[in-house]
Amino acid sequence: MVEKPLHINPDADISELVLMPGDPLRAKYIADNFLDDPKLITNVRNMFGFTGIYKGKKITVMGSGMGMPSMGIYSFELFHFFNVQKIIRIGTCGALSPDAQLNEIILADSAYSESNFAYTYSNYDKDVVGVSKELNESIIAASNELNLRNLVHVGMLATTEVFGPYIDAERVINRIPKEYKPLGEEMETFALCHVANVLGRKATAMVTVTDSKYSDRVLSIEEREKSLDNMIKIALEAIIK
- The per-residue pLDDT for range 73-93, each reduced to its tens digit, is 999 999 999 999 999 999 999
Q: For residue range 101-144, what is the model confidence (pLDDT) as tens digits?
A: 999 999 999 999 999 999 999 999 999 999 999 999 999 999 99
- Strands 49-54 and 36-42 come out as antiparallel
Q: Which residues are catalytic?
A: 211
Half-sphere exposure at residue 29, Cβ-oriented, CA atoms within 13 angstroms? 17
Q: Residue 97 has what DSSP assignment?
A: S
State the DSSP H helix or E strand holding residue 19, giving kind and residue range, or none if neither.
Answer: strand 17-20
Beta-strand pair 105-112/36-42:
unpaired
| pLDDT attached to residue 225 | 66
Complete domains list, the chain, with CATH? 17-239 (3.40.50.1580)
- Global pTM reads 0.96
Q: Which amino acid is at 87?
A: I
Euclidean distance between CA atoms 106 and 91, whole angstroms: 10
Q: What is the mean pLDDT of residues 65-77?
A: 98
Coarse DSSP helix, strand, coil percentages of the chain, rounded to the nearest 5 percent = 35, 25, 35
pLDDT score, position 168: 87
114 contact partners, CB below 8 Å, separation of at least 6: 127, 172, 175, 176
